[in-house]
Chain A
Amino acid sequence: MATDEILQLLVGNARLTSGEIAERTGRPEGEVKKAITKLEKDRVIRRYKTVVDWEKMGEEHVFGFIEVRVSPEREVGFDAVAERIMGFPEVHSLYLMSGTYDLLVVVEGKTMREVAYFVAERLAPLDHVISTATHFVLKRYKVDGDVMEERAESKRLPVTP
């Protein structure tokens, strides 16, 4: 239970110190430190990331969602194809899907052309890839649980009973 709470706090803010976590959870700091070390060692905590709003840095980031149909290989199924796809740094995420296509490849690039190029030059020609369908992201509303647009908070009265 306590580990759960530690993880949740770190997911919300990876920079919280053990001291801060200890204060919030009411556990001794040493215990929190030990728990975190163990979580890191067991690779429950894989790494600490920073969520960046690249647009504020004036950088364009284009995302394409590519539906890929694949003829699976004997013995290794989809995994071998997936393996070849995920090695490219342009590939942001890769999922095996149920439904009308097999792999969903999320490709990140600076321009649409760059993403389209990657699909045409790298993805489509791969062995076992039967077809691709590229969908470009026009607007990101919510990503990984974060609502992108910052809204003004609804105001509360400054003092209430």
Chain B
Amino acid sequence: MAETRSRIASRVGALPPSGIRRFFDLVEKMPEAVSLGIGEPDFVTPWRIRETAIYSLERGHTHYTPNQGTRELREKLASYLARKFGAAYDPDAELLITVGASEAIDVALRTILEPGDGVLVPQPCFVSYVPCVVLAGGCARPVSTVAEEGFRVQVEGLAQADDGNARALLMGYPNNPTGATLTRADVEGVVGYAAERDLLVVSDEIYAELTYDGSHVSVASVPGGKERTILIGGFSKAWAMTGWRLGFAAGPAEIIEAMTKLHSYTVMCPPTVAQEAAVEALEGCEGEVDEMRREYNQRRRVVVNRLNAMGLTCFEPRGAFYAFPSIASTGMGSEEFAERLLREEKVAVVPGAAFGDCGEGFVRCSYATSMSVLEEALGRIRAFVERVGE
């Protein structure tokens, strides 16, 4: 009898499940657990935005929009990017509204990669980068970053990982899971390297608004950056709009046009109601975004301070809403640490290894959680660390 072929395509079957998945299953069975494992804002979307969405539905705006996204949102986005990212984009030719930054990452990679193309991926990084590279036919070349350098990608690291067939660099700063940000000099270095090696840069800057020390430096804002960069962003983080599924890509017209083609065949267009609401997000919510940033910043200081005080050395994260302490002092691996902490103290953190091999020895603690929950969780972590250290 002929061997029956798996019904799952091998390239999908071969993808490892996310390191977060296993933890999710464990935590889900423990409803009383306190979670610092959540990668989305605890804030609800500002009312102004929700109210705009309600009005949009009331008026019956329930149809498809142009593939690229509504002209109004693209215009607002162009002026926002010019203002906040220091990069001028043509709303007609250089912007694409997507279903979250997630879709933008996927479509960007599938648009630019030939089978076998290398993609440099600084790690630790967002869990979907490597799978998206693989599904687009590319080969991910992990680039290690280290706590001593504040987890900032350095040119030497890129050169080391580059085997000569790299086509692109895929990175995200401010970084999930480390909270690292790049300085202007870092960004110039990276862009210089990309220019020298003729790499495209896919730059996921979804956490740009959540930068606490200094201001965000976009890859598209430095000389030579914009023309080789697909800048990706979204509304999930700073506007607390994760459930709305809205993001964007900005880049050279030729690439955006090709991405739009792919996007038109897969999603048609992003949700109409979300696009109309996002106009309000860009236009009327500066105060709300400032307020959330201020609150995250306060929590950030508390978390970093307490972690360091209990001996979990934590470099200072300057962006996003994560702290990434070293757990070396406990002598445990990150999986073991996270699992024991969960079982013994009912606190969920994510093992650093879920974000790449060089994340081993660290755990990700999200501070997108109310101060009272944070205080409770930090107290339990301290009790745990003291106990295992005896």
Q: Is A25 an interface residue (CB 8 A)?
A: yes
Chain B residues whose C-beta falls within 8 Å of the C-beta of A5 in the assembled complex: 294
The reply to whether B348 and A158 form a contact with Cβ atoms under 8 Å apart is yes
Interface size, A (range)? 10 to 19
Task: Please name the residue on chain B nearest to A21 by beta carbon.
Answer: B298
Q: How far is the CB of B285 from chain A (nearest CB, A)?
A: 18
Q: Is B35 an interface residue (CB 8 A)?
A: yes
Q: In the complex, A160 Cα to B176 Cα: how many Å?
A: 12
In chain A, positions 107-161 with a C-beta closer than 8 Å to chain B are 154, 156-161
Chain B residues whose C-beta falls within 8 Å of the C-beta of A26 in the assembled complex: 301
Q: Is A23 an interface residue (CB 8 A)?
A: yes
In chain A, positions 74-114 with a C-beta closer than 8 Å to chain B are none
Q: Name the contact of A24 in the complex, choosing from B27, B28, B128, B301 (C-beta under 8 A).
A: B301
The reply to whether B298 and A25 form a contact with Cβ atoms under 8 Å apart is yes
Chain B residues whose C-beta falls within 8 Å of the C-beta of A156 in the assembled complex: 38, 40, 42
Q: How many residues of B contact A (CB 8 A)?
A: 26
The reply to whether A159 and B301 form a contact with Cβ atoms under 8 Å apart is no
Most-contacted residue by chain B among A24, A158, A160 (CB, 10 A): A158
Q: Which of B18-26, B83-91, B137-145, B187-195 contacts A (4 or more CB under 8 A)?
A: B18-26
Q: In the complex, A148 Cα to B294 Cα: how many Å?
A: 25
Question: What 1/0 flags go to A20-40 for Cβ under 8 Å of B?
Answer: 000111100000000000000
Contacts known (A5-B294, A24-B298, A154-B44); A159 close to B24, Cβ less than 8 A = yes
Task: Please name the residue on chain B nearest to A16 by beta carbon.
Answer: B371
Most-contacted residue by chain B among A25, A157, A161 (CB, 10 A): A161
The reply to whether A159 and B348 form a contact with Cβ atoms under 8 Å apart is yes
Q: In the complex, A157 Cα to B298 Cα: how many Å?
A: 24
Q: How far is the CB of B123 from chain A (nearest CB, A)?
A: 14
Q: In the complex, A158 Cα to B18 Cα: how many Å?
A: 15
Contacts known (A5-B294, A24-B298, A25-B298); A158 close to B305, Cβ less than 8 A = no
Contacts known (A24-B298, A25-B301); A159 close to B23, Cβ less than 8 A = yes
Contacts known (A23-B301, A26-B301); A160 close to B40, Cβ less than 8 A = yes
Chain A residues whose C-beta falls within 8 Å of the C-beta of B128 in the assembled complex: 161
The reply to whether B126 and A161 form a contact with Cβ atoms under 8 Å apart is yes
Contacts known (A24-B298, A24-B301, A26-B301); A158 close to B20, Cβ less than 8 A = no
Q: In the complex, A158 Cα to B378 Cα: how many Å?
A: 17
Q: How far is the CB of B292 from chain A (nearest CB, A)?
A: 13
Q: Is B53 an interface residue (CB 8 A)?
A: no
Which 4 pairs of residues, A with B, have the shortest CB-CB distance?
Answer: A159-B37, A24-B298, A158-B27, A159-B24
Q: Which residues of B contact A (CB under 8 A)?
A: 18, 20, 23-24, 27-28, 33, 35, 37-40, 42, 44, 126-128, 176, 294, 298-299, 301-302, 305, 348, 350
A–B Cβ pairs within 8 angstroms, 8 of them: A23-B301, A24-B298, A156-B42, A157-B24, A158-B24, A159-B24, A160-B37, A161-B18
